[in-house]
Amino acid sequence: MIDDAELFIERVQTGVRMEKRLLKVLKALAEYHDMSLGDLLEGIVLHAFDGKVPFSEESLKRIHDLKRFYALDLDSSASHRLKEIKRHSQHSSLNKKNPEKKK
């Protein structure tokens, strides 16, 4: 167990991809708690690693409301089953038509 002293850490930038509505709920929840998205995610993960629930009853109610607002109908049963829709950008379709213009 760690005492109450401040812990100095090194953070790194990451480019994690995440389901769009899930990210909206997380960002809104972080804003509600006046913290960064990174701080929220660190807290969730550290609680999960210890086998603890990361949210109070009040936060769970807020999450429920945010999920409804952002039409997020996923729950833990969707974990590891999400498949990304492959969308072709206009830029990539132009490159396929005119391959000599690729850089």
Smallest CA-to-CA distance from 33 within 11, 8, 60, 52 is with 60
- Average pLDDT for 87-98: 61
Which residues have CB under 8 Å from 81's CB, separation 6+? none
Please measure the distance between the N-terminal and C-terminal CA atoms of the chain and give it in whole angstroms: 53
| pLDDT 10s digits, 27-78 | 999 999 999 999 999 999 999 999 999 999 999 999 999 999 999 999 999 9
pLDDT in tens, 8-39: 999 999 999 999 999 999 999 999 999 999 99
> DSSP string covering 35-103, please?
--HHHHHHHHHHHHHTT-----HHHHHHHHHHHHHTT----GGGTT---PPP---HHHHHHHH-GGG--
Domain boundaries, the chain: 9-74
User: What integer pLDDT is reported at residue 38 of this predicted model?
Assistant: 96
Asked if residue 97 has pLDDT above 60, the reply is no
